[in-house]
Amino acid sequence: MIMTNELERAFQGASAEAPYDSLETFEKVLALRLPSEDSSAINRVYRRMIPRWHFAMLNDTERNRTFHEALRAQVAPGQLVLDVGTGSGLLAMMAVRAGARAAVSCEVLEPIAHMARRIIAANDLSERVSVLSKSSFDLSVGRDLPTLADVLVTETIDCGLLGEGILPIVHHAREHLLRPEARIIPARARIVFALLESSAIHRNNFVFEASGFDVSMFNHFSTREYFPVRLVTWDHTLLSIPTKAFDFDFREFPPTSRVTRVPVEVRQSGTVHGIVFWFELDLGDGVHLSNAPSNPRSHWMQAVLCFERPLHFDRGATAVVEAAHDATSVWFNIHPPIERKSI
Ligand SMILES: C[S@@+](CC[C@H](N)C(=O)[O-])C[C@H]1O[C@@H](n2cnc3c(N)ncnc32)[C@H](O)[C@@H]1O
């Protein structure tokens, strides 16, 4: 049995010599770096290195439909579209179907970039859609793009909006790769949160007692960041109405870090174990997409951040929620009850 770290070293070794001209060459180099006795080793490398969510994402028909609709609304005939993080090449292919003269796309994971080229060729679009095996931060006009692009499309969005790096990606593209008046898909986004009561979800990240032993020191390893949760599958109560934390306008230069304090009325007495949050995307011209709990078919789950010490609030109290984000993450904190209303 090949150990995981051997697989990772083999993959990284093969990728370090990138770019290869094809997936076949890439796999030959990978095979040379793997112990020979395991015939399924290359598939195990892919299973570990290519995020599994690509499949659910590509099968998310609402996501695909709304990005397609947005591209049809934003791309004018003959324009050049830049697709950052092309994956299978889907959005770049949609862009030329929407009328772009060409789409230049990039994908940082080399095997995925090779596969995108194959998929694009199989769809007879290689003349108009190109794929660069590199990070968008390494692209330059003249070498990789013939001109500044007229439209940027990027679906580099995780359940908490910022975790895949959409803020720095858009910032960099606006500064180096796009015309000043370029359309950006998505155009805007909002992060919305609610107070979450759910001991069941909290137990996924914190532990205090097991079989009569105090094991609470294990919480040293709890994540302090958000994690994806399909809210509908867990016992839970939302103790507040959905409330806005942050707005982002990708057509401007949105700030890369902010802190805000949001007073939230507690609608029902209970224990706040954490904050559940999600995004609302405005893809332009009234095309919207969200991973709100009310949309359980979205492949994106909701994002949950749990507090180590849950806080009890009475109905009518005001919880002060501190929301913060930097370029690639979002955090929440909560302050003890500050006032009570007579109800
Ligand atoms: C969420 S997937 C979306 C794939 C595809 N655009 C779609 O909508 O089906 C994002 C992809 O972007 C790639 N990626 C993330 N940041 C990137 C960057 N700065 N430059 C190039 N690729 C990037 C990831 O490897 C991943 O394959």
96-123 pLDDT, tens digit per residue, is 999 999 999 999 999 999 999 999 999 9
Same domain membership, residue 104 and residue 170: yes
Is the separation of the CB atoms in 196 and 275 below 8 Å? yes
What are the backbone angles phi and psi of residue 259, rounded to the nearest 5°?
-130, 140
pTM for the full model?
0.92
Residue range 162-175: mean pLDDT, rounded? 97
Please report the pLDDT score of residue 26 as a whole number. Answer: 81
Q: Which two three-digit tokens encode residue 187? A: 């155009």
Looking at the predicted structure, is the pLDDT value of residue 211 above 60? yes
Which of 142, 160, 185 terminates a domain? The answer is 185
Q: What pLDDT is stored for residue 27 in this prediction?
A: 84
**Claim to verify: residue 179 and residue 71 sit in the same structural domain:** yes
Residue 68 pLDDT greater than 80, yes or no: yes
- CB–CB of 104/130 below 8 Å? yes
CATH code of the domain in which 198 resides: 2.70.160.11
180 lies in the same domain as 194: no
Residue 341, in any domain of the structure: no
Q: Exposure of 64 by Cβ count < 10 A (0-12 exposed, 13-18 middle, 19+ buried)?
A: middle
Give the residue among 101, 37, 42 at the shortest CA–CA distance from 75: 101
Residues 147 and 66 in one domain: yes
The mean pLDDT of 255-283, rounded to a whole number, is 96
Of 186-200, 287-301, 324-338, the least confident: 324-338
Nearest to 104 by CA among 88, 84, 119, 76: 84
Cα–Cα distance, 20 to 24 (Å, whole number) = 9
β partners of residue 80: 102
* 38 pLDDT tier (thresholds 50, 70, 90): low
Given this model, what pLDDT does residue 122 score?
98
Ligand 1 atom having least distance to the Cα of 112: 27
Nearest protein CA to atom 4 of ligand 1, as residue: 87
Ligand 1 centroid–CA 107 distance in Å is 6
Domains contained in the chain, number: 3
Among 108, 119, 175, 289, residue to substitute to test ligand 1 (most atoms within 8 Å of Cβ): 108
Do 145 and 271 fall within a single domain? Answer: no
Report the DSSP beta bridge partners of residue 46.
none
Residue 343 pLDDT: 45
- Taking only the tens place, the pLDDT of each residue in 134-156 is 999 999 999 999 999 999 999 99
Domain that holds residue 212: 189-335
Which pair of tokens denotes residue 140? 């330059």
Residue among 86, 134, 153 to mutate when testing ligand 1 (max atoms within 8 A of CB): 86
| In the predicted structure, residue 10 carries a pLDDT above the cut 90 | no
Note the pLDDT of residue 49: 86
Computed over its alpha carbons, how large is the radius of gyration of the chain? Answer: 23
- Reported confidence tier of residue 4, pLDDT bands at 50, 70, 90: low
**Does the CB atom of residue 108 touch ligand 1 within 6 A?**
yes
